[in-house]
Amino acid sequence: MASVSTWLPSVKRRSKSRSRRQGSGLVLLAILLLLALLCSHLLTNGYLSSDALARYAKLLVMRDAAGLRFEYSGFLSPQVSLYLSLLLSALLGVRESVTPYILDILAVAVFAAWVWRDLANTQGPIWASIWTLLLVLHPFALWTATSGQDLGLGLLTVYGLCRTLHVFQNTPEPRSYLKFAGWLCLLFFVDARAGFIAMAMLPWLALAAPRSLLQKAPLAFYMVCYLPFLFAALGWMYLNWLYHGEGLLFLQQADSAFRGGYAQAPYLPWLVEFGGTWWLPLLWLSVTGIAACPSLLLLPWSRTPRAWAGPVAVTGAIICAGAIATYFWFTTHSVQFLALLLVPVALGLKEVRVGNKLPATLALIIGIPLGWPVLQHAPMPEVRHWTIALREVIDLRPREDIELGAWLADSRLPTLIDDQAAYAVIAARGDARDLILPFSDEFKLALASPERIPPQIVVAAPGTRQGAQDAINRRFPGLWKEGRPGYQLVYEQEVWRVWQREQ
């Protein structure tokens, strides 16, 4: 009889865990289908993300390079999303052009399923389903999933990072801190915002950490949490030095993903208004963040003592990270950091009291319409294009790049071209065969010794966006206008020219 009395609860726990897994699987499939339909609608209406297009071109380069090597992907952006996109395109057999969108959709769907499972454990599956759906319908979540801006994996990783703060208070043991350190280290390779998030998290982490530990060994606590992240940053500096001779290249080059919107600052309304300052963007992000996510106001009234500390620390860290990033001319739009507020919202919902479930639901519903004006305030071009494509057809095709890509598809000579400036051209060409690109020794030798220049050169016009990014144009300033001895002009338009060696 004693064995029976201990066996039945065990079976019940296993059955409950199995139902949670099945439920989270169904949520994953449902959210995946919902977001895929929305993204398909956007792409059908002509929406085109320049960031997704650049990643598509990078995938073509990695696919067609003679022997895939780590340095082919470059060190000016985090690498995880690129390699996952390459894996997805190989496993699913889909076109590389849609893989960046698929990766973001999949990441947000996994985030939603994870949130549902956490909420179901504390609030029950019905409330978990309602709140998860309202979270996904928030404009910040829809933008993260379908805009092709490579934000989905960052949201998922930040959630994995911040949910460990709850464990700090319940089971303060070294394994808990190592989980936080592992997620923070992973974030460096996933998201270019990682440095600002890690910096802003430093003071706020003290709010969620056990007070006894901070009193006895604060330095040891921070060392355990941050040493893996520091080693990741130092390792990245070493790779930059090893392959490019400059350890801080990823922070010095203006068009690096780790510099964010710095190179396009004059064309980004957010940076035109707030760039180089921190107090005003801090105030703006605080007010609009709370307005778009009003359920954060319920954090002080949690089910258990100090359960509010983790979500409040995450909220403060995200807002401060956005302000610091704006000061360093990184932030392209406020939603780049405000979208991460979905994480403390989800964490806070886990601790909602029984009497506050209805107010929390109303707050989530109110946040959806309030999020749209925040998203549309001083929008960068792609936010504007995305919102238009939700309603009507829009034509965003880069015609000059498409025309040159089609021309190069027929002219299969070895061609010197910079994929940083001509990513849309490579995407339109459909492959990177016979292209001599900046990571290759042939490209470096051609710039160092003009007599080694290949039979065909693609160069962008000075004064254009492409020309500013084109290493060939910077190395040979007069090439676009005058060409080179022994070369003739075979293709010309407003932005691009192609010079070909005379027969």
DSSP run (H or E) holding 346: helix 342-350
Assigned domain for 83 exists:
yes
Band of residue 417 on the pLDDT scale cut at 50, 70, 90: very high
How far apart CA 241 and CA 375 sit, in angstroms, is 39
Please indicate, yes or no, whether residues 350 and 431 belong to a single structural domain of this protein.
no
Burial of 477 (0-12, 13-18, 19+ CB in 10 A): exposed
Assigned domain for 355 exists:
yes
Assigned domain for 452 exists:
yes
Band of residue 139 on the pLDDT scale cut at 50, 70, 90: very high
Please indicate, yes or no, whether residues 380 and 425 belong to a single structural domain of this protein.
no
How far apart CA 371 and CA 281 sit, in angstroms, is 17
Q: How does DSSP assign 30-80, residue by residue?
A: HHHHHHHHHHHHHHHTT---HHHHHHHHHHHHHHHSSS--GGGG-SSS-SH
Please indicate, yes or no, whether residues 384 and 445 belong to a single structural domain of this protein.
no
DSSP run (H or E) holding 361: helix 357-376
- pLDDT of 197 reads 96
Task: Give yes or no for a contact between 445 and 487, defined as CB atoms under 8 angstroms apart.
Answer: no
Please indicate, yes or no, whether residues 74 and 157 belong to a single structural domain of this protein.
yes
In three-state form (DSSP H/G/I as H, E/B as E, the rest C), the secondary structure along 200-237 is HHHHHHHHHCCHHHHHHCHHHHHHHHHHHHHHHHHHHH
Domain of residue 267 covers: 18-390
Please indicate, yes or no, whether residues 361 and 322 belong to a single structural domain of this protein.
yes
Band of residue 419 on the pLDDT scale cut at 50, 70, 90: confident
Question: Which of the residue ranges 303-312, 327-336, 396-405 has the most confident prediction, judged by mean pLDDT?
Answer: 327-336
Q: Single out the residue of 45, 215, 36, 71 nearest to residue 142, CA to CA.
A: 36
Overall number of domains in the chain: 2
pLDDT digit string (tens) for 61-89?
Answer: 888 765 556 666 668 888 898 888 888 88
Assigned domain for 456 exists:
yes
Mean pLDDT of the chain: 88
Q: How does DSSP assign 425-450, residue by residue?
A: HHHHHT--TTEE-TTSHHHHHHHH-G
Please indicate, yes or no, whether residues 364 and 474 belong to a single structural domain of this protein.
no
How far apart CA 338 and CA 340 sit, in angstroms, is 5
Assigned domain for 13 exists:
no
Span 3-24, mean pLDDT? 56
Asked which of 74-78, 219-223, 459-463, 498-502 is least confident by mean pLDDT, the reply is: 74-78
Task: Give yes or no for a contact between 253 and 259, defined as CB atoms under 8 angstroms apart.
Answer: yes
Provide the pairing of β-strand 487-492 with 415-416.
unpaired
Band of residue 10 on the pLDDT scale cut at 50, 70, 90: very low
How far apart CA 315 and CA 321 sit, in angstroms, is 10
pLDDT digit string (tens) for 433-474?
Answer: 889 888 788 888 888 887 888 999 999 988 888 888 888 988
Assigned domain for 11 exists:
no
Please indicate, yes or no, whether residues 88 and 156 belong to a single structural domain of this protein.
yes
Please indicate, yes or no, whether residues 377 and 493 belong to a single structural domain of this protein.
no
Domain boundary among 355, 390, 425: 390
Assigned domain for 235 exists:
yes
Please indicate, yes or no, whether residues 381 and 416 belong to a single structural domain of this protein.
no
Please indicate, yes or no, whether residues 305 and 422 belong to a single structural domain of this protein.
no
Please indicate, yes or no, whether residues 330 and 434 belong to a single structural domain of this protein.
no
Domain boundary among 346, 368, 390: 390
DSSP reduced 3-state for 305: coil
| pTM, entire model | 0.91
Span 126-143, mean pLDDT? 96
- pLDDT of 2 reads 41
Please indicate, yes or no, whether residues 46 and 118 belong to a single structural domain of this protein.
yes
Domain boundary among 366, 390, 414: 390
106: CB partners within 8 A, 6+ apart: 32, 88, 152
Choice between 246 and 372, residue whose per-residue pLDDT is larger: 372
Question: CA-based angle 343:360:305, to the nearest 5?
Answer: 75
How far apart CA 417 and CA 499 sit, in angstroms, is 11
Assigned domain for 90 exists:
yes
Question: CA-based angle 200:105:268, to the nearest 5?
Answer: 55
Span 488-503, mean pLDDT? 90
Model confidence at 9: pLDDT above 60:
no
Task: Give yes or no for a contact between 348 and 164, defined as CB atoms under 8 angstroms apart.
Answer: no
